[in-house]
Amino acid sequence: MITDIPTQRPATPLLDQIDSPSDLKGLNLGQLQQLAGELRLYLLFCVGQTGGHLGGGLGVVELTLALHYLLETPEDHLVWDVGHQAYPHKILTGRRDEMLNIRQREGLTPFPDQAESVYDSFGTGHSSTSISAILGMAIADQLQGINRKAVAVIGDGALTAGQAFEALNHAAHTDANLLVILNDNDMSISPNQGGLATYLEKNLREQALTNPVMPLFEALNFDYSGPIDGNDLDLLIPALETSLSKEGPQFLHVRTRKGFGFKPAEEDPVGYHAITKLEKPVVNSRPNIKYSDQFGQWVCDTAALDSRLVAVTPAMKEGSGLVPFANEFPDRFFDVAIAEQHAATFAAGLATGGMKPVLAIYSTFLQRALDQVIHDIALQNLDCLIAIDRAGLVGEDGPTHSGIFDIPMLRTLPEVIIMTPSTLDEQQQMLSLGYQYSGCAAVRYPRGEGVKNETPLAPFAIGQSRLIRIGKRAVMLNFGPLLPAAKQVSDQLDLGLIDMRFVKPLDEKALIELVNTYSSFITLEDGTLAGGAGSAVNEWLLKKGHTIACLNLGIPDRWIEHATRDEQLLDAGLDAHSIQKQIEHFLKA
């Protein structure tokens, strides 16, 4: 049992000889077991150097080895759901030495990526897509007369999502040759919630570990086998061989332990789901507060005053700052597992029943619940506050997790208000405004730390902006947390500066005054330009018949790859220097 993360590259003589899965074919069982130990130790070293997802990968070391030992990848299809557990897969498929630059600019992506390697059959950053994808691949092979294996590895957390069951249901009506492996470790990021988790655990308690009856998967027309110990190669390899030899939809249930082999991760699988680099950052004597923590404090304070407040999250309790609320108000906290669509409609039902739901969700995952927000919340004008965390560029997790599309998604919905705080104080007031609003309101805020206002923030109403600076020629209209850069540039170029605060409704009174004062507008946001806040300003100008020149600054129409958030902003042209250069060019034109 490993107790510490290595700070120096460990000796891995057998792993050093593995440059592709074909190098595994000649190994015997004893060598595979030795390789598992070396792979686990090397994984710990790499993640200690770079930060990243750890617990899931530690748990599937043996499963990864067994799959690549038996399959003929990359010819055979192998899809890892979500990708949190794909680091061992990357190491074994020719990317061993590159692991030390994973999640860094121009380094390996944090998730499987078709463009990165032929061994990555499908890109997976969001959960619960693997069965749909592998079924499509299997049927495509069938239609073309190609004989290949098709395997999807999905966790019990990801299996709680509706899409996974939609795919299982469809697969039941095909004769496609595919194998779905359930990697069951009782966890998503935090312990699993819901009836499926209870069902799986009940079967393990009450049935023998050899070929128990699993009516759920049998009813879906899958040939079920398991559960088996997924960390035991002696059991795993023959079980996989049997499943891979059969035709039609197969289902193999393996039990793994998240963080297996590393004592701290086994004891704290939530804390070791992902880690930061071992090197500690310089401690600030006056640390800033995270937006998520501020939200967590606000929701507790508001719940203490209003018994109607209920908090809903789709498996994001820790990241959304809801742990204190869950502890203080357990009867009013609902973690619905990885089920974003259900979370939105469930919130709509709570509102219909007389409660005041607060839906805490990351921007990138709100994408999955758009129809439910439109049809079930907004169309019915139900009271629901959507607290959108991780809005904007999020850094090392890359484009699968960037939260840059929420403004265009929500801006077209009638009577929905959208707020973009630039400081923690604004976030606090906006959450309260959104909670009190009769209808659907969204507050979008970034990942990480925020800043306080330099002077006490006066109360403001819905749709009310704030004048920060009067300048010459042009005025900057800032939406959200890029305000510090906007202040720096406006000082350098003597520009007017407005903290708009609201994408919808826009402060039309302020806009009218600005049109009569300035000859040029510059909008600034940390979301996609297409359909974003700048587009809202352009539409208003056109509607009112104003021909004023306008420069829109935001995320350009391309994917911003993984890097630190500051590097991503530089890539997008949204650092202070790039913003200034673009404005200077615009004003000279």
Active site residues: 258, 340, 368
**Alpha helices, H only, 478-588:** 483-493, 508-515, 533-543, 565-571, 576-588
Q: Nearest 5°: phi and psi at 181?
A: -105, 120
Rounded Cα distance, 190 and 341, in Å: 19
Q: How far is CA 427 from CA 382, 450, 528, in A?
A: 22, 9, 21
DSSP sequence for 240-276: HHHHHHS-SEEEEEEE--TTTTBHHHHH-TTTTSEE-
Kindly give the pairing relationship between strand 356-362 and strand 417-419.
unpaired
DSSP sequence for 313-342: ESS-TTTTT-HHHHHH-GGGEEE--S-HHH
CB neighbours of residue 466 within 10 Å: 19
CB neighbours of residue 74 within 10 Å: 15
How far does Cα 530 stand from its chain's mean position?
A: 21
Structure tokens at 164: 């996974």
CA atoms within 13 A on the CB side of 577: 4
Rounded Cα distance, 407 and 413, in Å: 10
Q: Nearest 5°: phi and psi at 500?
A: -70, -35
SS3 string, 64-103, reads HHHHHHHCCCCCCEEEECCCCCCHHHHHHHHHCHHHHHCC
DSSP sequence for 383-434: -EEEEEES-B--STT-TTT-B-SHHHHHHTSTT-EEE--SSHHHHHHHHHHH
Structure letter (DSSP) for residue 187: B
- Total residues found in the chain within this entry: 589
